[in-house]
Amino acid sequence: MTTLQEDALPPGLLEERGEARLHLGGTERKAGWKNLNAQPSASVDFVGDIRDLTQFGDASQDMVYASHVLEHLGYQKDLPHALAEIVRVLKPEGRFFVSVPDLAVMCRLFADRGATNKLRIAVMRMMFGGQIDPYDFHFVGLWDEYLAFLLFKAGFSAVYRVKSFGLFDDTSELTFDDVAISLNMVAVK
């Protein structure tokens, strides 16, 4: 079991490779990637729930990507089950790129004595979801140690914290008041 490392990343950890790449919650087309989303659209290849990846075979994916998706699952049962499903579909040495709102950062932003009500409302929405549809609610807050614990418990052999994936222009790159609000990690099967 490898501990979190921000500086000493293995060579090639962030490279796109392999032909089977699955973007959980994906809504934009990108060459080499297939999108799975609970809501159908023209850019969605597979309609489904990340808690049930049975439409994908064991060890069938080289890479799995999820940006601001895991926080939509309950931490008692659904989140551990979804992570186990991701481990199952990844090939040996496969990588899971995961980004979630960083609860530690959210708390610091909210608790800042200089924070305006407008800022606090924006942070509250990032913590609990925008709540614009039934899928846009957050059920868990995640920070680095807890997410790493869940990833290791699910069966990943190494977990690395990274500043950026460089894969998609999405919420994994989001800053608020010049503060990066996402916790970005790469977990290796």
User: Crossing angle of helices 144-154/78-89, nearest 10°?
Assistant: 60
Give Dmax over CA atoms of the chain in angstroms: 51
Give the start-end residues of each E strand in the chain: 21-24, 34-37, 46-47, 61-67, 90-101, 158-162, 175-176, 179-180, 182-188
| Domains of the chain: total | 1
For position 8, what pLDDT does the model report? 80
Strands 34-37 and 21-24: parallel
For position 156, what pLDDT does the model report? 97
On whether residue 11 sits in a domain, the answer given is no
On whether residue 114 sits in a domain, the answer given is no
Residues 79-93: tens digit of each pLDDT: 999 999 999 999 999
Share of the chain above pLDDT 70, in %: 96
CATH classification at residue 33: 3.40.50.150
Most confident by average pLDDT, 82-96, 116-130, 169-183: 82-96
On whether residue 13 sits in a domain, the answer given is no
On whether residue 112 sits in a domain, the answer given is no
DSSP-derived 3-state class of residue 2:
strand
Stated pTM of the model: 0.94
Q: Residues 25-51: what's their mean pLDDT?
A: 95
Q: Which domain holds residue 81?
A: 21-102+132-188
H-type helices in 90-143, by residue range? 103-111, 117-128
Q: Residues 174-178: what's their mean pLDDT?
A: 85
Residue length of the chain? 189
For position 50, what pLDDT does the model report? 95
Confidence band, pLDDT 50/70/90 cuts, at residue 44 = very high
Residues 96-124: tens digit of each pLDDT: 999 999 999 999 999 999 999 999 999 99
Q: Residues 28-48: what's their mean pLDDT?
A: 96
Residue 182 Cα to chain centre, angstroms? 9
Share of the chain above pLDDT 90, in %: 87
